[in-house]
Amino acid sequence: MSDYNFAYLDEQTKRMIRRAILKGVAVPGYQVPFASREMPMPYGWGTGGVQVSAACLTPDDTFKVIDQGADDTTNAVSIRKFFEKTAGVAVTERTCEATIIQTRHRIPEDPLTEDQILVYQVPIPEPLRFLEPSEVETRRMHALEDYGLMHVKLYEDISRHGEIATAYAYPVKVEGRYVMDPSPIPKFDNPKLESAALQLFGAGREQRIYAVPPYTKVVSLDFEDYPFDPSKAPHPCALCGAEDSYLDEVITDDKGSRMFVCSDTDFCASRRAAGHVGVAGAEVPA
Amino acid sequence: MQAQYLDGGFADPPRDAAHAFRAALTALSRPGRIETLAGARPPAPASGAAGALLLTLCDATTGLYLAPSHDSDALRGWITFHTGAPFVGPEHAMFALGTWAALQPVTRFPVGTSEYPDRAATLIVEIDTLDNSGAVLTGPGIKDSARLSLPEVAAFRANRRQFPLGFDTYFTCGDRVAGLPRSTRVEEV
């Protein structure tokens, strides 16, 4: 561990990232450009989130990483080990014990507290990018609060599919001003964006940092006659029986059998430890 | 080069700066909350909290304006040795340090542009009393409302009206700090 500066990055880089984070906090939902560094992992593996975490970590923190809700996938395990090695911080898989949680594409099911920071890994931070490829144009659209194009996109969803078909990375308006991409979290998680915890977003390849401070108003875009619907698969979890958690569909053989299980592994394991059992819970060891 | 400028920096810069940044981050993301910022001992009249903010956030890429209340050779020397931040006029400052009276008029400081609202100044305002009384704060980071002993209300209301443009403010007093981002709405009691 002594071979690395604390939390891997050099101090000059951390100051630059820290200044960007503070400006992001001051202007909720606005994407602050920053000089993203090359990290010892490829773009797409959470380099933005890792840089934000590195800038925020203190030696007293307890760090948790989830990838689509799971603590035990390759991405989550390697980032957790990275900071265990370079920052010497304590790590955990328990949501309630963590002080900083880095996440790829989920918000934990357990409500976060004022003492926690949630760091998102963001692939494409610009919500308007697939509607308008030019950065010059999208920047001007944000400056002028010109978000008509996004509503046209949602309207076309309805005219084509009969409903707003966007199921993840569902756009939100932050504090009545900036339209923001909440990263590719399922729209089921959107209501949780109004949180007691500070939420920071890092996009390494795209070199943007943005933030949602605690208790900030976050509204999912919709229409009066087509209100926002944070839907999920209409099943209980097969392992713990939870009916209010976001579920992954798992194919269990080549004959079409499937099961739905909580995507948040800590939430599911905690429920099973507390004695909750789903229809397949008895067959699968906890 | 004066040897007395060498003292008063962070004893363990990576870890001290990490703690200081977390306090600064908490203060700015939860307006009204008063945090402790320790580890720096800048020359008078700068407070320990202001010194820690400078050490944590300033470097050779950030222009710093010292208001007349804080523009001393000792403080200039200390800041130059520990951060390398260039001293600039208020119109070009990314950071500014001084008492509230000495920083006037605060309308001089950069407030960003509509396309880049992040290119705005951060003011570090040294005040004599910092507690949870006085002006009522609402907005992002505040559950219902909070209170903070601001030196003035009108300037921060005018700053909020420019949102998303505007400067952001830290209030420092001894080793304590509170934040007031441009997004906060400020009301007289």
Sheet holding B168-173, edge to edge: B35-36, B176-180, B168-173, B122-126, B95-99, B64-66
Q: Please answer yes or no on whether A27 and B183 come within 8 Å at the CB atom.
A: yes
Q: Is the same domain home to A153 and A269?
A: no
Tell me if B24 and A56 make a contact (CB, 8 A cut-off): no
Cα separation, A27 vs A52, in Å, equals: 17
- Number of folded domains that form chain A: 2
Q: B139: nearest CA in chain A? A: A216
Beta strands in chain A (DSSP E): 32-33, 62-67, 90-91, 100-104, 117-121, 172-174, 178-180, 198-203, 208-212, 218-220, 247-251, 258-262
CA distance A39 to A37: 6
Distance from chain centroid for Cα B120:
13
Within a 13 Å sphere around the CA of B37, how many CA atoms are in the beta-carbon half?
35
Nearest CB among A60, A139, A214 relative to B30 is that of: A214
Q: Nearest CA to CA, how far is B181 from chain A (Å)?
A: 5
Confirm whether A3 is domain-assigned: no
The number of helices, as runs of H, and strands, as runs of E, in chain B is 5, 9
Give the C-alpha distances (Å, rounded to integers) separating A234 from A106, A261, A269: 19, 12, 21
pLDDT of residue B137: 98
Of the partner residues A56, A143, A175, the one whose CB lies closest to the CB of residue B140: A175
Does A161 lie in the same domain as A257? Answer: no
Residues of A marked active site are found at 29, 237, 240, 262, 268
A48-78: string of b/e by CB count within 10 Å (b at 16+)?
bbbbbbbbbbbeebebbbbbbbbbeeebbee
Residues of B in contact with A135 (CB under 8 A): none
One domain for residues A139 and A24: yes
Q: Is the pLDDT of residue B1 over 70?
A: no
Residue A225 in domain: no
Q: Are residues A18 and A97 in the same domain?
A: yes
CATH number for the domain harbouring residue A114: 3.40.50.11310
pLDDT in tens, B146-162: 999 999 999 999 999 99
Structural domain containing residue A26: 11-220
B93 vs A contacts (CB less than 8 Å): none
Residue A48 sits in the same domain as residue A120:
yes
C-beta atoms of A216 and B117 within 8 A: no
pLDDT tens digits for range A182-222: 999 999 999 999 999 999 999 999 999 999 999 999 999 99
* B58: chain A residues, CB-CB within 8 Å: 15
CB contact under 8 A, A214 and B62: no
pTM given for the model: 0.97
- What percent of chain B has a predicted confidence (pLDDT) above 70? 99
pLDDT at B183 over 80: yes
A152-156 mean pLDDT: 95
Q: Do A28 and B61 touch (CB under 8 A)?
A: no
How large a percentage of chain A has pLDDT more than 90?
94
Please indicate, yes or no, if residue A118 is contained in any of the structural domains: yes
Percent of chain A with pLDDT over 70: 98
Phi, psi for residue A14 in degrees, rounded to 5: -65, -40
For residue A281, the model assigns a pLDDT of 80
Same domain for A47 and A22, yes or no, is yes
**A152 and A211 belong to one structural domain:** yes
pLDDT digits (tens, 9 = 90+) for B9-65: 999 999 999 999 999 999 999 999 999 999 999 999 999 999 999 999 999 999 999
The mean pLDDT value of chain A amounts to 95
Q: Indicate the average pLDDT of chain B.
A: 96
Spell out which residues of chain A touch residue B122, defining contact as CB-CB under 8 Å: 22
Assess whether A169 and A65 both reside in one domain.
yes
Mean pLDDT (whole number) for B65-72: 97
Q: Which residue on chain A is closest to B120 by alpha carbon? A: A23
Query: Of A16, A25, A214, which has the smallest distance from its Cβ to B181's Cβ?
Result: A25
Same domain, A105 and A179: yes
pLDDT digits (tens, 9 = 90+) for A49-102: 999 999 999 999 999 999 999 999 999 999 999 999 999 999 999 999 999 999
Residue B57 CA to residue A17 CA, distance in Å, equals 9
Question: What is the separation of C-alpha A265 from the centre of its chain, rounded to a whole number of angstroms?
Answer: 15
- Of B151, B168, B174, B149, the closest CA to residue B46 belongs to B174
Q: Is residue A226 part of a domain?
A: no
Q: Do A22 and B61 touch (CB under 8 A)?
A: no
Buried/exposed code over A85-109 (b: 16+ C-beta within 10 A; e: otherwise): ebbebbbbbebeebbbbbbbbbbbb
A199 lies in a domain?
A: yes
User: Considering only CB atoms, which chain B residues are within 8 Å of A180?
Assistant: none
Among the listed residues B114, B86, B113, B24, the one whose alpha carbon sits nearest the alpha carbon of residue A19: B24
Asked whether residue A191 falls in the same domain as residue A252, the answer is no
Chain A residues lying within 8 Å of B115, measured CB to CB? 139-140, 142-143
Distance to chain B for A230, nearest Cα, Å: 23
Subunit contact A22:B163, Cβ cutoff 8 A? no
Q: Is the Cβ pair A18, B25 closer than 8 Å?
A: yes
Q: Tell me: the pLDDT tens digits for A2-50?
A: 689 999 999 999 999 999 999 999 999 999 999 999 999 998 899 999 9
**In a domain? residue A93:** yes
Rounded-to-integer distance, Cα A197 and Cα B25, Å: 12
Task: Tell me how many residue pairs between chain A and chain B have CB atoms under 8 A apart.
Answer: 118
Query: A255 and A210 in one domain?
Result: no
